[in-house]
């Protein structure tokens, strides 16, 4: 017999999985279910989730617009670190989970719930991200993960359960997808179906946001992004809130076929997984942020950030956003961004983002020193001789002692 739970807060999308979970929680635990649906820019009509929840007997339905908080407090701090997992993945799904976990816990406190529940499977990373976040914020919280408890382990079984229990499931002809998808303001991801064969090229019809680079405009488009303390604040001279700015970059990137990624990644639970991603605005933003840092960060600070970035990215990917080590890294990263101010000009063309200009009042680029022309004594080239000899001393000693580098 399931342990006694009086009230549970469910992360609810209104789709097949979470609608079945809602009913299953009511039946299995005999508890009241409160639903929480987060609008983090997935581009779907979410009010239908309210109607479905109410139809299933839910009395408290939370639907919240979290787009600005998501961009400001989660996406932008991550981009200050230039975080990329395994050299390619811009962490679009990973960075959304700590925000959802936070609100699940907060709502549980508000309504006096005993537990929270989510629809992540026992094979994926999201179960780890949700639960590590919840435990960090509310150590005594009870977490229910139906995919680790029930035997409804196929779509056919889920549909049969839904039919048996009168659960309304939308069936929209021509709009179904063979892929498991997750979307938010930063990206959209695709897994399953044809993608389970890592040799199979994704179908063009799979991509939802971006045009094919081959079909993108034949004329490049230029865009300027202004930064203040490491965060983008304006596009083409127009100030924007974090969410609006990311939406603007998504539109630009999508129109030019920017941000597609086909990746086999290493999940935290131990398996390799093939996924495809569209991150148009994020791809532009990463390029621009690195460009403004190139003229405003000291060399050793920039290199230290690059050394720490893979660790920071792994912390986010593996679900440790709320950990003390991520917070410590964030403090260092944010301190480095005090002078990361200025504007970057980029060229968007057929899937590519090229930096073509950068300027800043805090620029460390000194043309008088770097010039190939007469530097008027700004740099004494003879100083390089001693510098090279000192750095070459250990190599000379090794050679003298018979060390053979080949």
- Residue 336 host element (H or E): helix 324-336
Is 177 an active-site residue? no
Q: Which of 39, 50, 142, 180 is catalytic?
A: 180
Active-site choice (126, 273, 290, 326): 126
Can 336 be counted among the known catalytic residues?
Answer: no
Instruction: Count CB-CB contacts under 10 A for residue 61.
Output: 18
Closest by CA position to 93, among listed 333, 318, 303: 318
Q: Answer yes or no: are the C-beta atoms of 43 and 209 closer than 8 Å.
A: no
- Report how far residue 286's alpha carbon sits from residue 309's, in angstroms, rounded to the nearest whole number: 13
Angle, in degrees to the nearest 10, between helices 155-164 and 16-29: 60
> If you count them, how many residues does the chain have?
406
Please confirm, yes or no, whether 294 is among the known catalytic residues.
no
Please say if 218 is a catalytic residue: no
Q: Residue 141 is encoded by which pair of tokens?
A: 């919280």
For residues 228-256, one letter each, b for 16 or more C-beta atoms within 10 angstroms of the residue's C-beta and e for the rest, the string is eebbbebbeeeebebbebbbbbbebbbbb
Sort residue 171 into left (φ over 0), alpha (ψ -120 to 50) or beta.
beta
Alpha-carbon distances of 379 from 291, 298, 373, 382, 386, rounded to whole Å: 25, 18, 12, 9, 14
Residue pair 288/258 in contact by the 8 Å Cβ criterion = no
Name the catalytic one among 17, 254, 260, 273.
17
> Could you say which of 13, 80, 97, 260 is catalytic?
97
- Which residues are known catalytic residues? 17, 97, 126, 180
């Amino acid at each position: 017999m399931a342990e006694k739970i009086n009230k549970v807060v469910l992360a609810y999308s209104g789709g097949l999985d979470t609608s079945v979970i809602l009913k299953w929680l009511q039946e299995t635990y005999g508890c009241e279910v409160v639903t929480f649906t987060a609008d983090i820019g997935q581009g779907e009509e979410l009010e239908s989730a309210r109607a479905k929840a109410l139809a299933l007997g839910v009395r408290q339905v939370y639907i919240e617009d979290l787009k600005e908080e998501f961009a400001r407090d989660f996406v932008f701090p991550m981009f200050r670190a230039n975080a990329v997992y395994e050299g390619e993945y811009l962490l679009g799904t990973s960075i959304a989970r700590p925000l959802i976990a936070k609100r699940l816990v907060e709502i549980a406190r508000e309504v006096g719930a005993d537990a929270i529940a989510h629809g992540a499977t026992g094979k994926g990373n999201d179960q780890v991200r949700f639960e590590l976040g919840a435990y960090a914020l509310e150590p005594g919280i009870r977490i229910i993960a139906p995919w680790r408890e029930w035997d409804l382990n196929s779509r056919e079984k889920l549909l049969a359960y839904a039919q048996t229990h009168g659960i309304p499931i939308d069936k929209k002809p021509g709009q179904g997808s063979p892929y498991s998808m997750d979307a938010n303001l930063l990206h959209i991801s695709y897994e399953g179906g044809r993608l389970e064969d890592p040799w199979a090229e994704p179908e063009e019809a799979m991509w939802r946001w971006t045009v094919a680079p081959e079909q993108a405009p034949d004329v490049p488009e230029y865009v300027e992004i202004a930064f203040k303390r490491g965060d983008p604040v304006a596009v083409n001279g127009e100030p924007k809130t974090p969410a609006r700015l990311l939406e603007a970059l998504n539109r630009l990137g999508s129109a030019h076929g920017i941000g597609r990624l086909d990746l086999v990644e290493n999940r935290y639970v131990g398996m390799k997984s093939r996924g495809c991603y569209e991150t148009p605005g994020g791809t532009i933003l990463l390029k621009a942020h690195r460009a403004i840092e190139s003229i405003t960060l000291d060399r050793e600070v920039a290199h230290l950030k690059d050394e720490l970035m893979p660790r920071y990215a792994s912390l986010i990917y593996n679900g440790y956003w709320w950990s003390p080590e991520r917070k410590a890294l964030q403090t260092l990263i944010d301190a480095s961004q005090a002078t990361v101010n200025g504007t970057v000009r980029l060229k968007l063309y057929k899937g590519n983002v090229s930096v073509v200009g950068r300027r800043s009042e805090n620029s460390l680029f000194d043309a008088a020193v770097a010039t190939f022309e007469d530097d008027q004594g700004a740099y004494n080239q003879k100083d390089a001789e001693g510098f090279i000899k000192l750095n070459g001393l250990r190599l000379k000693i090794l050679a003298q002692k018979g060390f053979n580098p080949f």
